[in-house]
Amino acid sequence: MQTLAAGAGAAFGLPLLPERLLAMPTSKDTPKRIVFFMQNQGFDPATCIPEGMKRSGSLAKVKLPEPISPLEPYKDRLHIINGLHGIHTSPSHSAFFGALGGYRGSDGVPPSASTIDYELSKILPQTLLPHLCIGMDSIENMRTKPTIATLSASGAGQPIFMHSNPNHLYQMLYGGISTGDIRRQHEARSNIFNQIEQLAAAKGNALPTADQQRYGQFVDGFKEVNGLRDRLDSVAGHLSKFAPKVDSRYTSPEHETDWHDVLLDLGISSLTSGITNTLTIGSGRGEIFGAWKGLGIEQQGHNLGHMEQPGNPIWIKIRQYNSRMLVRIIEALESIPEGSGTMMDHTLIVYTSNNADKQHTSGANWPVMLLGNFDGAFKTGCFTQLDGKRPINSLYATLLEAAGVPCEHFNMNEKLARKFDSGSGPLQELLA
Lowest mean pLDDT across 153-157, 239-243, 386-390, 408-412 = 239-243
Q: Does pLDDT of 207 surpass 60?
A: no
**Quick one: 72 and 106 in the same domain?**
yes
**Quick one: 87 and 231 in the same domain?**
no
**Quick one: 120 and 79 in the same domain?**
yes
- For residue 16, is it within any domain? no
- For residue 4, is it within any domain? no
**Quick one: 53 and 139 in the same domain?**
yes
Q: What is the mean pLDDT of residues 334-344?
A: 95
Residue 234's pLDDT is what? 73
pLDDT band at 201 (very low <50, low <70, confident <90, very high): low
Domain final residue pick, 201, 217, 242: 242
**Quick one: 369 and 292 in the same domain?**
yes
Residue 139's pLDDT is what? 96
- For residue 415, is it within any domain? yes
Q: Does pLDDT of 75 surpass 60?
A: yes
Q: Which of 117, 175, 127 is nearest to 17 (CA)?
A: 127
Residue 229's pLDDT is what? 65
- For residue 12, is it within any domain? no
Strand-pair category, 158-163 with 147-155? antiparallel
**Quick one: 354 and 303 in the same domain?**
yes
| Phi and psi, residue 429, nearest 5° | -60, -20
User: Residue 157: which domain range?
Assistant: 33-171+247-430
pLDDT band at 240 (very low <50, low <70, confident <90, very high): confident
- For residue 345, is it within any domain? yes
pLDDT (tens digit per residue) in 137-191: 999 999 999 999 999 999 999 999 899 999 999 988 887 555 456 555 544 455 5
**Quick one: 184 and 72 in the same domain?**
no
Give Cα separations from 242 to 233, 236, 238 (angstroms): 14, 10, 8
**Quick one: 224 and 273 in the same domain?**
no
Query: Percentage of the chain with pLDDT > 90?
Result: 70
Split into its structural domains, the chain has a count of 2
**Quick one: 205 and 225 in the same domain?**
yes
pLDDT band at 260 (very low <50, low <70, confident <90, very high): very high
**Quick one: 133 and 92 in the same domain?**
yes
pLDDT (tens digit per residue) in 6-51: 333 333 344 433 332 333 444 345 689 999 999 999 999 999 999 9
pLDDT (tens digit per residue) in 304-315: 888 999 999 999
Q: How far apart are CA 78 and CA 73, in angstroms?
A: 10
Q: What is the CATH number of the domain that holds 317?
A: 3.40.720
Lowest mean pLDDT across 96-105, 196-205, 276-285, 310-319 = 196-205
Calculate the average pLDDT of the chain: 86
- For residue 14, is it within any domain? no
Residue 166's pLDDT is what? 95
Q: Does pLDDT of 232 surpass 90?
A: no
Residue 2's pLDDT is what? 26
Q: What pTM value is reported for the model?
A: 0.86
